[in-house]
Amino acid sequence: MTDRSSALGLSDPKRNHFLARLVPSDYAALMAEAEIVSLKFRKKMLEQDAPVDAVYFPLTCMFSLLVTIDDQPQLELATIGKEGVIGAAEAMQKQGSMGYNLIQIPGSAVRIDAKAFRKLAATRPLMSALVFQHLLALLRQILYGAACNRLHSMEERCARWMLMTHDRAGEDTFPLTQEFLANMLGVRRATVNVATGMLKKAGFIRYVRGKITVTDRPGLESASCDCFQAMNRVYAPLTP
């Protein structure tokens, strides 16, 4: 797929839209205390309500934000890739994690200690305003997603999820099992199987043993609901 920001090196911090929008002095101050880390597939980054010890700015990886309910993480409510940031709001307020975070697509991210980030943001109004804007965008994304989860069909939601992940993966093939997708969507694997089977039969996707390939992006978009577009639009004003 074409991705304009891939003109930037894969480990250029400015790939991340939050970092790219910082003014030079704030950017320099933040990067002076940050490091680039590599995050492994399905790594649990944070339990729900656990203390947030670091803030992450994804470069090539993607986070999932899940909610733990009835004692297990059962439903994904947002995905965050290079357009966003993880843990910034909680770090600023010294709060526990809003949800259960895990790595959906492995890759790199900029990491900064939560306390260091809090100190930086406290004296830099532009930086804290940006955190605020990202929080608002996340909230909007969650609103749309929640409504979609409640009101749309399994096939539409499967397609939407794959499209969102496709965008963030930057490649047509990425890791995904039915079991996993079922957890994300809050349904059983058998239910996911039916939906993905339809998308496969329609020729929009291929998959074998935990690897899925998007073969017909426009087709997949036609199978998805409008929520996909709506959720993308949320981050448009935050694009550098």
Residues that bind DNA (CB under 7 A): 153-154, 176-179, 186-191, 193-197, 200, 207-210
Q: Which does 77 bind (CB under 5 to 8 A by kind): its own copies, DNA, none?
A: its own copies
Which residue's CB is nearer to DNA, number 85 or number 182?
182
**In angstroms, what is the minimal distance from the CB of 94 to its own copies?**
11
User: Measured from the CB atom, is 64 or 178 closer to DNA?
Assistant: 178
Binding partner of residue 189 among its own copies, DNA, none, CB cut-off 5 to 8 Å per kind? DNA
Helices in the chain by DSSP H: which ranges?
Answer: 17-20, 24-32, 88-93, 114-122, 125-151, 154-169, 178-185, 189-201, 217-223, 227-233
Query: Cα 84 vs. chain centroid, distance in angstroms?
Result: 7
24 contact, one of its own copies, DNA, none, CB 5-8 Å limit per kind = none
Q: 156 or 167, CB closer to its own copies?
A: 156
Question: What end-to-end distance do the CA atoms of the chain give, in Å?
Answer: 20
Nearer to DNA, 131 or 176 (CB): 176
Chain residues in the site for its own copies (CB under 8 A): 67, 69-70, 74-75, 77, 89-90, 92-93, 95, 98-99, 132-133, 135-136, 138-140, 142-151, 186, 226-227
Nearest one of 67, 88, 99, 163 to 130, comparing CA atoms = 88
* Least distance to DNA, CB of residue 86, Å: 24
When the beta carbons of 30 and 75 are compared against its own copies, the nearer one is: 75
DSSP, res 95: P
95 binds, among its own copies, DNA, none (CB under 5 to 8 A by kind): its own copies
Neighbours of 129 (CB within 10 A): 11
Task: Judge whether 145 and 153 are in contact, CB under 8 Å.
Answer: no
CB-CB neighbours of 76 under 10 Å:
23
β-pairing, 35-39 vs 72-80, is: unpaired
